[in-house]
Amino acid sequence: MKKKIAFISGIGGQDGAYLAHLLLNKGYRVIGGERRSSKNTYWRLKFLKILKKIEIIDFELNELTNIIRLFNNYNISEFYNLAAQSFVHSSFKNPITTSDTNGMGVLRILETIRTLSPKTKFFQASTSELYGNSSSKSQDENTSFRPRSPYAVSKLFAHFITINYREAYGLFACCAITFNHESPLRSEEFVTKKIAKSLVEIKNKKINHIDLGNLYVRRDWGYAKEYTELFWKILQQKKPMEYVISTGESHTIKEFVEEAAKYCGFKLKWEGKGIKERGIDIYTNKVIVKINKKFFRPTEVNTLKGNNKLIKKELSWKPKCNFKKLVKIMMEYEINEFKRN
């Protein structure tokens, strides 16, 4: 029997790599889309030992011809759109390219699916950033959206255009509203990876301290490897619909630092207020954490906590990896990685 073809845009990113690994194990032929770049974007695929098993093609979301060529060349059963300008902070600096990639990029795909391949199932990676500063204690599929960054606004367009193409044209198209998900494969600009890597470097005297922004925001952090399994499951449902993916646990950046610091033998006490706040290791009296204005955003999302009742019920899922376990996975990786290099 011919293998089903899955296409993953953003294959070189964190989620793309984990999802590709899963789909290969499930027997799919995996085509990955990656835009040409001067950076080494394949380290995650190499880490998971799958680079040679994937067919990688040029895929730029801002270039309609790439999308049309893809559908002319392959009979794609499942399209996972994981490509995005995914860093909220950058979206304030590059609002137009962010909107084009994250918003219009999705419309380009949907319109191509509608005209060339209406049987292709489409998955869109929506985000908890859509909620902004929600007045609800926890956010579910019915909580209203109030985005607070160009990133979130672009994802709002993507979210609703996906639903619109489903309703208007009967496409099997759906979105997962995923809360922050992390792993050793996370990019270094995101706060969890930055903290994990920097603490190990401080421990090994490669750097003196870490500069962070707002320590008091709360995020619902899950494990990316687990979440990508749900991306696949969502496309296997009878009916396309939206699901929140979250752990239901919410922690501050400060709590992440404190938990991660334990793995390096640090115990932090905090002194000062606002921009002058410092995290000091009580054993050595060394300043480990400083606050730097550079890492604050013009508008912030203060608290995110997902309500995952629907996905638990309908997909018989529950998160296996809680906050402490996630920190452990990330810290153990960084400690070993430092030894390797």
241 vs 287 by CB, closer to ligand GDP: 287
212 vs 244 by CB, closer to ligand NDP: 244
Distance of closest approach, residue 210 Cβ to ligand GDP, in angstroms = 8
The correct pick among 11, 45, 88, 106 for binding ligand GDP (CB under 6 A) is 88
Q: Which option in ligand NDP, ligand GDP, none does residue 82 bind, with CB closer than 5 to 8 A by kind?
A: ligand NDP
Question: Contact between 40 and ligand NDP (CB under 6 A)?
Answer: no
Question: Contact between 184 and ligand NDP (CB under 6 A)?
Answer: no
Total residues at interface with ligand NDP (CB under 6 A): 26
Q: Which stretch binds ligand NDP (CB under 6 A): 173-181, 265-273, 294-302, 316-324?
A: 173-181
Angle between the 105-116 and 150-169 helix axes, to the nearest 10 degrees? 20
Q: Which stretch binds ligand GDP (CB under 6 A): 58-66, 118-126, 131-139, 214-222?
A: 214-222
47 vs 92 by CB, closer to ligand GDP: 92
Q: Point out the residues that are catalytic.
A: 127, 129, 151
The correct pick among 14, 180, 198, 303 for binding ligand GDP (CB under 6 A) is 180
The correct pick among 117, 139, 149, 178 for binding ligand NDP (CB under 6 A) is 178
62 vs 72 by CB, closer to ligand NDP: 62
Q: Which residues of the chain form contacts with ligand GDP (CB under 6 A)?
A: 88-89, 180, 189-191, 194, 212-214, 217, 219, 253, 295, 297, 300
